[in-house]
Copies of this chain bind each other. A is one copy, B any other.
Amino acid sequence: MTPFRRIALIGIGLINGSLALALRRRGAVEEIVACARREETRARALELGLCHRAVADPAHAVEGAELVVLGVPPGSMGTVAKAMVPGLDPRAIVTDVGSVKAQIVHDVMPHLPTPSLFVPGHPVAGTEHSGPDAAFETLFQGRRVILTPIEDTDPEAVQRVRGMWELTGALVDTMTPEHHDRVLAITSHLPHLIAYTIVGTVADLEKQTQSEVFKYAAGGFTDFTRIAASDPTMWRDVFLNNREAVLEMLGRFTEDLVRLQRAIRWGDGDTLFELFSRTRAIRRAVIRAGQAYDRLPVPPDAATDNGPASEAAKSAH
Contact = CB atoms under 8 A, between A and B. Distances in A.
Contacts of A279: 195-196, 199-200, 203, 225, 228-229
Contacts of A215: 144, 173, 289, 291
Interface string A140-174: 00011010000000000000000000000000010
Counting chain B CB atoms within 10 Å of each CB, which of A143, A282, A291 scores highest? Answer: A282
Contacts of A136: 296-297
A7 interface: no
A235 B216 CA distance: 18
Counting chain B CB atoms within 10 Å of each CB, which of A99, A200, A312 scores highest? Answer: A200
B196 A216 contact: no
A220 B276 contact: no
Interface stretch (A45-53, A108-116, A125-133): A125-133
Nearest to A212: B183
Contacts of A125: 218
Contacts of A269: 75, 236-237, 240
A190 B198 contact: yes
Interface string A209-248: 1001111111111111111111011011101100100110
Contacts of A216: 124, 144, 146, 183-184, 187-188, 291
A186 interface: yes
A191 B252 contact: no
A55 interface: no
Contacts of A277: 232
Contact of A223 (B191, B199, B252): B191
A311 B282 contact: no
Interface in A263-286: 264-265, 267, 269, 272-273, 275-286
- How many chain A residues sit at the interface, stated as a range, is 35 or more
A85 interface: no
A256 B200 contact: yes
Interface of A: 75, 99, 124-129, 134, 136, 143-144, 146, 173, 182-184, 186-205, 209, 212-230, 232-233, 235-237, 239-240, 243, 246-247, 249-250, 252-254, 256-258, 260-261, 264-265, 267, 269, 272-273, 275-286, 288-289, 291-293, 295-298, 303, 311-312, 314-317
Given A99-B219, A235-B276, 13 more contacts: A127-B295, A187-B213, A191-B224, A202-B282, A203-B278, A214-B286, A214-B291, A228-B283, A237-B269, A240-B264, A293-B315, A311-B315, A315-B315
